[in-house]
Chain A
Amino acid sequence: MSSKSLTLRNISKKFGSVLALDNFNLEVGVGELVALLGPSGCGKTTALRVVAGLENQDSGKVLVGETDLSQTPAHKRNMGMVFQAYSLFPNLTVEENVTFGLQMRKVSKHLRKKKAEELLELVGLPTHSQRFTFQLSGGQQQRVALARALAFEPEILLLDEPLSALDAQVRVNLREEIRRLQLSLGTTTLFVTHDQEEAMAISDRVGVMSHGKLEQIDTPDTLYNKPATSFVASFVGTMNYIPAELKDGHVEIFGKKIPALKNANAAGAVFALIRPESISVNSDSRDHNAKVLTRLFMGPSSNIVCQTNDGTIIQSLMSSIETGDLHPGSTVKLEVLNKEVLVSNA
Chain B
Amino acid sequence: MRRVLWILAAAVAVALPFLVPKSFYLQIIASAYITAIAVYGLNVILGYTGLLNLGHAAFFGIGAYAVALLQTKAGWPFWPALLAGCVASVVLGALVGMVSLRTRGNYFAIFTAAVGVMIAIVFTNWQDLTGGNIGIVNIPPPPPIGSLTFDGDVPKYYLVLAALALTILICVLVRNSLIGRTFVAIADNEDLARATGVNVARVRLTAFMLSTFLAGLAGGMFAMYNGNLGPDQTGLDITFEQLLYLVIGGIGTIAGPLVGTLVLVEISQQLQGVEQYRFLIFGPMLVLLVRFFPLGIVGGFNRLTARWVRP
> Are chains A and B native binding partners rather than an unrelated pairing?
no
B residues lining the A interface (CB < 8 Å): none
